[in-house]
Structures are given as structure tokens and as C-alpha cells.
Structure 1
């Protein structure tokens, strides 16, 4: 049996880390390959293009993040507590980044969405799907909180969930610009006001 190469996984790992810290446009295939310790020919053996790599990078990042979120949502707690756990999971990476490197790198999906707003349609479609899945998770929790009489019925759960995800993304963006993790402390109180929990 031949030796199994981990070159593909190394390329994906490097891509995910470098795209979070450097962005998409400033990052070249040669730099990704150098960081991963693989030859450029290996890149094109596994990926048709940088755009294809980016879609797979988003897929892998979301698969890992979704597992963490689903574990938090499986906790035997009330819907508001699970909603808060979901919020903490979504912003927790930023706190970890700052404590480990002194910098907030932002959300991979939000960073790519801002950078690629008018280009790379495959990447934008995949990002939209990821955000839709996040909104769906939040909407289900808001629906459960409503059933428990904890949240009013003035606005639809989907609209509230979209507002909540946008609020998280916006706060992460501001925290990144200022490199100030203290701004992340504002997310949950803002969610409480949005949902009428405060």
C-alpha cells in the first residue's frame, strides 16, 4: 500500500489560517503552498483554482464550527441559555485570537464577504449558505424561546435571527478594526435588547 499524503489537508489548514489573517486578494497560491510546505504542482493536483480552494476552506471551517455550535445547542438548558452559548461560541474565536496573538482576526465568512462583495460568485454563494445556516440555528432557538413565553411575537423569528447574526458580525468587525476584545462584551446585552429580554 502506498504512502498517504497529507498535502491536501496542509493546504487547507494553511489557507484557512492565512485567509483569516491576510485576506483573499493579498494571498497568493505560492504563499499558501510555501506555508503548507508543498509544491505548487500539488496545489493544482488537488484544487482547480484559488476560488475552488476558498470554497473548500469555507466548507471545512463551517463543518468544524457547526460541530461546536451543535454541541452547545445540545446542552440541557433553556432556549435563552442555549442562545447565549451560541453567541459565545461565535465570538469566542476572536477572544482566543486576541489572547494568543494580540490581534482580532475577524470572522472568516464576514472577512471574505466584505472583500469579495463584487467578485468570486462561487465563494459568495457558499458564504450566503453558511450565513443562512447560522440564521436557521438562531431562528430555531428564538422559536423555542417564544414557545416558552420568553420572547415576544412582534417580529418573525427569521427576521430577528438575521438581525442577531448581523449584529454579531458587525460587532466582530468593529472589534477587529479597533483590535479591542472589550467590544465583544456588548454582543449579548445587544441581543437581549433586540429580543426584549433585557
Structure 2
């Protein structure tokens, strides 16, 4: 049997880390758990990573790259109207709520909730990727605002962060209730809110 290439074993470990950390949390994740999930030895693990935190930092990047590719391939990403792209993004997030909880919840949100005070490097890495994702959504929001509601006073950057907050909160509720239904309902409410912002724009505020 052909020997597995080093980069293939590293990807297997990263994929395993995505599942185990999202299922158990960072503190409860052991290197042995990740190796067992990947079907690899601890020798293979330490060939690629110096520690659990080193693995988690690489997993943050791995998850971010996978997410970027997934959203860029979404049909709504190619819509000509930026509002269609925004609403299609929410629809796509709803469609992604399939399978077991570790398969659709966010690694970045899971990690940062647990490690924000104890592992600053992980917090910073998660914040970097979550902020970059929000910034890309904000670009579509800004274009949609210029086209459809130029007099509205809300900020595209602030609205993009609100979308991220609803998503992360929806994942927490899905974990609490052990199913995706509540998350899907939250995102459908988010979609209705976005539609209202663009169909009933807030008038320009006048100085007192």
C-alpha cells in the first residue's frame, strides 16, 4: 500500500480537530481524541504540530479557508443584485443547518467563547477570520444600500456584525436545544429583518 503523503495526514488531523473541538470544546479535547478521530498516531501528530494550541491555531485557518471556498461557490454569490447576494447568503446559511451539531456549527465561535481570556492567540485568530468574513458581507451590504436605500442611516459594517451575532447566537441555541430547528428560525427572522431594512428604509436623521 502506498505511503500517505505528509500533507494528507496533516489535513486528516485538521479535519478531525474541526469535528472534535466543535463536539467537545477546546478544554475537553485531547490530542489522543484527535488522533483517534483521524486514525493516526501521536507520532504523526507531533510531526505536524507542537501542541494542542498549535493544532487549534492551524484548525482556525483550515476552517476559514474551507468556509471561504464554500461561500464563494454558493449560487447567490454570483447574483448581479447585491441585495439578492445578501438574502441569498442568509438562505445558504439556513440550508447549511444539516446533520449533527459539529457538522454545521462554527469552529471560530466555539473556540472564542471558551478561550477568549485563557488563550489570547486563539482569540485573536478567531477574531481575525470572523472579522474578515463580516467585512466581505459588509461589502455586499454597502453596495445594496447604495442601490436600494441610499438615504438609510444604518452602517453596513455594523449590520454585517449584527448578522454574525445572530449566526453565533443561533448556533448556541442549537446546541442548547440539541437541534438545528431553532437556528433556522432565528435566521428566517434575520432574513425578514433585512428585507424590512431595504423595503422600509429609515429616513435620514436631522440634527436637533
TM-score normalised by the chain length of structure 2:
0.82
Counterparts of 1:32-51 in structure 2 under 5 Å?
A: 32-51=34-53
Structure 1 counterpart of 2:188: 188
Which of the residues 79, 82, 85 maps onto 2:85?
A: 82
After TM superposition, give the deviation of residue 170 of structure 1 in Å. 0.9
Tell me, what secondary structure is at the counterpart of 1:81?
helix
Alpha-carbon contact 1:150-1:197 (below 8 Å) kept: yes
After TM superposition, give the deviation of residue 58 of structure 1 in Å. 1.3
After TM superposition, give the deviation of residue 48 of structure 1 in Å. 1.3
Counterparts of 1:44-63 in structure 2 under 5 Å?
A: 44-63=46-65
Relative distance call for 1:105 and 1:145 in structure 2 (3 A) is closer
Structure 2 counterpart of 1:147: 146
- Number of aligned residue pairs: give it: 193
Relative distance call for 1:58 and 1:151 in structure 2 (3 A) is farther
Q: Deviations over 1:104-140 (max 9, x none)?
A: 8632111111111211111111100111112101111
Relative distance call for 1:103 and 1:21 in structure 2 (3 A) is closer
State the alpha-carbon separation in 2 of the partners of residues 151 and 8 from structure 1.
Answer: 48
Relative distance call for 1:106 and 1:151 in structure 2 (3 A) is farther
Tell me, what secondary structure is at the counterpart of 2:98?
helix
State the alpha-carbon separation in 2 of the partners of residues 25 and 151 from structure 1.
Answer: 47
Q: Deviations over 1:5-62 (max 9, x none)?
A: 4321221111111111111111101111122222212211111111111111111111
Of structures 1 and 2, the larger Rg is shown by 2
Structure 1 counterpart of 2:117: 118
Tell me, what secondary structure is at the counterpart of 2:69?
helix
